[in-house]
Amino acid sequence: MGKQAKLRKIRQQAQENPSKESTQSPQESDPKNFVKNFEQQGYKLSESLSSPEIPNKDTKPQI
pLDDT confidence of residue 5: 92
pLDDT in tens, the chain (63 residues): 789 999 899 888 888 887 655 455 555 567 778 888 878 888 777 766 677 777 777 778 888
Which one, of 55, 34, 53, 29, lies nearest residue 45 by Cα? 34
Is 5 strand, coil or helix? helix
pLDDT confidence of residue 62: 82
pLDDT confidence of residue 31: 75
Angle at 28 between CA 23 and CA 33, to 5 degrees: 160
- Give the separation between CA 46 and CA 39, rounded to whole angstroms: 10
pLDDT confidence of residue 25: 57
